[in-house]
Amino acid sequence: SKHLLGIKDLNTQDIELILETANNFKDVINRPIKKVPSLRDITIANIFFENSTRTKLSFELAQKRLSADVVNFAASSSSVSKGETLIDTVNNILSMKVDMVVMRHPYPGAGVFLSKHINAQIVNAGDGAHEHPTQALLDAFSIKEKLGEVAGKKVVIVGDVLHSRVALSNILCLQKLGAEVMVCGPTTLIPKYIHTLGVKVEHNLMKALNWCDVANMLRIQLERQDIKYFPSLREYSMMYGLNKQILDSLDKKIIVMHPGPINRGVEITSDVADSQQSIILDQVENGVAVRMAVLYLLASQKG
């Protein structure tokens, strides 16, 4: 496809090709000379209408490692604050001869909307609580790197599934790669449509952790919460927080993941986040290679 809007649009073969390509790029960026000329003639705009640390920096690094020209746009310091629309904003950027747009936006479907109105390749870097495809790809890459295979593995996604774009993209990606997926959290944070996705639902954290090979601990998205429906953070961390005592009580050594940013002491304690079983910083490292793969493969689809 010309764009990467969601994991929904990819098939198993597409995902495997991205992971394989990312594996090659991981070798490249571990060499003393990290840069390749693959995207020398491509200009990319990273437009972020929502804050980001990992996604923004790793897209930019991926683009630079591929020798693309890069411009960065943060909505908060732009003319969006004067009332300029999304389409006008992007068309103005594109008129400066930009080939590809990487966009993060608070509204679900913003990337799809843009793809219908502008003539550039679009990569979704997170659209509201909808999809975050490159996060799911780097998570799958990291599981494969650690466990050798994604197929047949049991992955539980714990916490604020309702407000999470990481959850939906992960569910779709892991299922397409043949993993078994469970979600675990309080009823108030599990979306009603979950039953249409073919995942297991478990409200008891211990049962979920005893079942899984991998636990992906989601961040509580306070910025998207209607606070009155929410269990208090104290209640949440007592019932769904992962601490070292729980981790050590399990029969097998599970892998612990977190997309970041972490609310330390809420969904996960520091001694777990920083433990040998955590691959949180591997996920971030792999984000660069995976995003290189996505950009490289999309550039070959241009036109």
Q: Does 1 bind ligand CP (CB under 6 A)?
A: no
Helix (H, G, I), strand (E, B) or coil at 225: coil
Q: How many residues does the chain have?
A: 303
55 vs 269, which CB is nearer to ligand CP?
55
The residues in 25-54 that bind ligand CP, with binding defined as CB under 6 A, are 52-54
Nearer to ligand CP, 106 or 260 (CB): 260
CA distance readout (Å), 134 to 123, 125, 155, 206: 9, 7, 18, 29
User: Segment 119-138, which members bind ligand CP (CB under 6 A)?
Assistant: 126, 135
Sequence-separated (6 or more) residues with CB below 8 Å from residue 86: 49, 105, 110, 113, 114
Cβ contact 135:167 at 8 Å? no
Is 135 annotated in some ligand binding site? yes
Distance between CA atoms of residues 125 and 295, nearest Å: 12
Closest CA to 255 of 237, 273, 270, 269: 273
Is 261 marked as binding a ligand? yes
Nearer to ligand CP by Cβ, of 94 and 284: the residue is 284
**x/- binding map, residues 165-184, to ligand CP, per CB under 6 A?**
--------------------
40 is in an annotated binding site: no
Judged by CB under 6 A, the residue of 133, 186, 241, 259 near ligand CP is 259
SS3 category, 180: strand
Site for ligand CP in 51-80 (CB under 6 A): 52-56
Q: Which residues bind ligand CP (CB under 6 A)?
A: 52-56, 126, 135, 259-261
Q: Which residues are annotated as a binding site for carbamoyl phosphate?
A: 54-55, 104, 132, 135, 260-261
